[in-house]
């Protein structure tokens, strides 16, 4: 069950998102840019300590707004970057808790027994829509640190942003069949294999961050088109600003995304472009 602290903090966060009406109404109200651009929600933004130095919070928010993003799911190493951006623009930022204190912990964090206590403290004092993006592969998903992370996501009613192979995804669902997983980079799998996983796990969604094979010159690849049409409510877009330099690709990536999304039926494009992310954030922050 969600703790009282989580409930109160969620109300506070939603209060800042809702200038009037519900969270969903807020997104819909913002989803009509004056330039007629299709609204987008980017589910894979990092703002780690080196990015904070090279792109200060005000500039980072300017970039996100220039891209025409309605929301951005932000995580960082350490969590300070996420909190800085959220404080700067609570209407724009959806905070996600990354279990890394600094860069270089992608392969060590799941062996660090101090990580769960860090997560517990941050979750008790802040509001997050998810935990991640975190890296885990294969049977490492059964390690105690991962198991506690999965438990914490369940306790707080938030999603897991998992960067790993299909085996890791399966092990997490074995631990908690009701977990909500946003599969980073859709596992870097081909669309046929992604479809198999989406069919098997109704609570699995996938982002397209740092992937380009699904579209070329504004046209959607036919194998990916089959996936998008079969699971229009399970796919989301993302940029992945995993290095500071990637922040200067956010605007271009948004423009590119709008181009290939226009090659899909309007309802499908809207779901992938922002509605699926909107629904996931609303679920986590309810």
Span 39-66, pLDDT tens digits: 999 999 999 999 999 999 999 999 999 9
CATH number of 4-284: 3.20.20.140
- pLDDT at residue 36, as a whole number: 80
Find the helix packing angle between 276-284 and 23-30, rounded to 10°: 150
Domain residue spans of the chain: 4-284
* This prediction's pTM: 0.88
Q: From CA 107, how far away is CA 116, in angstroms rounded?
A: 16
Identify whether the C-beta of residue 163 lies closer than 8 Å to the C-beta of residue 132: yes
Percentage of the chain beyond pLDDT 90 is 86
Identify whether the C-beta of residue 41 lies closer than 8 Å to the C-beta of residue 70: yes
* C-alpha to C-alpha distances, 78 to 94, 110, 148, 259, 284, nearest whole angstrom: 16, 16, 19, 34, 22
The per-residue DSSP string of 216-246 comes to ETTEE-HHHHHHHHH-TTSEE------SGGG
Nearest to residue 100, comparing CAs of 176, 143, 47?
47
Q: What pLDDT, in 10s, does the model give residues 176-223?
A: 999 999 999 999 999 999 999 999 999 999 999 999 999 999 999 999
The answer, yes or no, to whether residue 25 has pLDDT greater than 80, is: no
Residue 205: strand pairing partners: 182
């Amino acid at each position: 069950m969600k703790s009282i602290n989580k409930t109160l903090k969620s109300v506070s966060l939603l209060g800042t998102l809702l200038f009037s009406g519900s969270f969903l109404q807020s997104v819909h109200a913002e989803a009509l840019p004056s330039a007629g651009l299709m609204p987008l929600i980017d589910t894979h933004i990092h703002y780690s300590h080196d990015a904070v130095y090279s792109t200060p919070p005000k500039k980072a928010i300017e970039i996100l707004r220039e891209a025409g993003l309605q929301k951005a799911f932000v995580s960082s190493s350490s969590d300070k970057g996420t909190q800085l951006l959220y404080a700067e623009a609570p209407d724009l930022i959806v905070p996600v808790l990354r279990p890394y204190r600094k860069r270089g912990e992608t392969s060590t964090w799941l062996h660090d027994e101090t990580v769960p206590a860090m997560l517990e403290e941050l979750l008790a004092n802040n509001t997050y829509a998810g935990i991640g993006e975190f890296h885990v592969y294969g049977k490492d998903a059964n390690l105690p640190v991962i198991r506690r992370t999965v438990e914490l996501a369940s306790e707080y009613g938030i999603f897991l942003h998992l960067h790993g192979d299909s085996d890791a995804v399966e092990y997490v669902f074995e631990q908690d069949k009701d977990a909500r997983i946003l599969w980073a980079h859709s596992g870097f799998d081909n669309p046929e294999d992604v479809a198999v996983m989406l069919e098997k796990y109704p609570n699995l969604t996938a982002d397209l961050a740092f992937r380009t094979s699904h579209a070329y010159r504004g046209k959607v690849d036919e194998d990916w088109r089959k996936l998008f049409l079969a699971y229009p409510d399970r796919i989301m877009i993302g940029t992945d600003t995993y290095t500071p330099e990637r922040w200067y690709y956010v605007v271009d990536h948004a423009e590119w995304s709008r181009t290939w999304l226009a090659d899909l039926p309007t309802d499908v494009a809207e779901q992938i472009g922002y509605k699926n992310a909107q629904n996931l954030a609303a679920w986590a922050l309810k």
